[in-house]
Amino acid sequence: MIKVGIIGAAGYTAGELIRLLVHHPQAQIVFAQSSSQAGQPVAAVHEGLTGDTDLCFVAEADLEAVDVLFLCAGHGKSSAFWAAHTRPEHLRVIDLAQDYRDEHDGYIYGLPEWQRDRIASATLIANPGCFATAIQLALLPLVASGSLHGEAHVTAITGSTGAGQQPSATTHFSWRNNNLSVYKPFTHQHLLEIQRNLQIPVTFIPIRGDFARGILATAVVEWDGTQEQAEALYKEYYRTAAFTYVSDTAVDMKEVVNTNKCLLHVDVHEGHLLITSVIDNLLKGASGQAVQNMNLMFSLPETTGLQLKASAF
């Protein structure tokens, strides 16, 4: 069994991680650390876990007792954690914050569809951002084939859980319900990792959605090929991907919510290619992908513990 520790275990991404790992056939959660919830039952904070675990939050982490550590404490806090702690040589790390996504200090960027072999041999993984996952999966086949010319123009809408568990004015139900709004146009922090990895210019307009979870992203690029050529390019690129699929028909967000899937659909129209990409921001965009990376690091099938079902209704 893979012995697991979690830092910052009271937030949304940690809650999803725990829900996955308590049913993972090859993982055992040794500790879930939370300074704010120490001593409290995990199931009292993360709903839906009653009967699944008797685990309680702890204040301190025993790094020697685990094989892999998930850092879920939020952006900027992962590097602060390592400033105060020494990593044992045996310990593998998966960081769900943005602290190491530029691959400094030996971290590998953990997008399996792009870097599967590097992830499998890595000790330190920087998990991608949720928007960055949806957008890069939409554009990777074009970049890899040299077919992308000029800018990619991206618009994406995300659920309220993308803003984290800490309440704010824009996550309050009475504001978010029946409402949409643009935020951080052209400046969203995930643009840094997207443009660094893909080496292409991207304009990105993020939108707050009036729902809890999921991302629907659309990317528009110049394209001088046919519909059939676009479909063939994408299907070949993702032929061996464990969770990314190219659909012949239009995709919607409900098809992927509560799963680790990314669904893609391509449309050609008058010299342009529209790519639609849908993911669950908490799973393929965060905790599900983190478990996928753990599976690769420990030589398990990528799908282990991640064969999840979408809610059809």
Contacts 24+ apart (CB under 8 A), 249-257: 250/276, 251/276, 251/278, 252/216, 252/278, 253/214, 253/215, 253/216, 253/278, 254/214, 254/310, 254/311, 254/312, 255/310, 256/214, 256/280, 256/284, 256/310, 257/213, 257/214, 257/310, 257/311
pLDDT, tens digit (0-9, with 9 covering 90-100), for 79-88: 999 999 999 9
Residue 175: its pLDDT value, please? 76
Mark 300-312 as b/e (b = at least 16 C-beta within 10 Å).
bebebbbebeeee
pLDDT beneath 70: ranges in the chain:
162-169, 172
Residue 28: its pLDDT value, please? 98
pLDDT, tens digit (0-9, with 9 covering 90-100), for 264-305: 999 999 999 999 999 999 999 999 999 999 999 999 999 999
List Cα–Cα distances, 66 to 10, 27, 56, 87, 305, in angstroms.
19, 11, 16, 11, 19
List Cα–Cα distances, 168 to 161, 172, 176, 281, 294, in angstroms.
11, 6, 11, 19, 32
CB 263 within 8 A of CB 101: no
pTM: 0.95
Q: Confirm whether 72 is a catalytic residue.
A: no
Burial of 271 (0-12, 13-18, 19+ CB in 10 A): exposed
Residue 165: its pLDDT value, please? 57
Q: Using DSSP bridges, classify how beta strands 2-7 and 202-208 pair: parallel, antiparallel or unpaired.
A: unpaired
In the set 56, 72, 130, 262, the catalytic residue is 130
- CATH code: domain 130-281 is 3.30.360.10
Residue 163: its pLDDT value, please? 55
Residue 162: its pLDDT value, please? 64
Question: Any idea where the domains of the chain sit in the sequence?
Answer: 2-128+284-297, 130-281
- CATH code: domain 2-128+284-297 is 3.40.50.720
Nearest C-alpha neighbor of 213 from the set 275, 276, 261, 283: 283
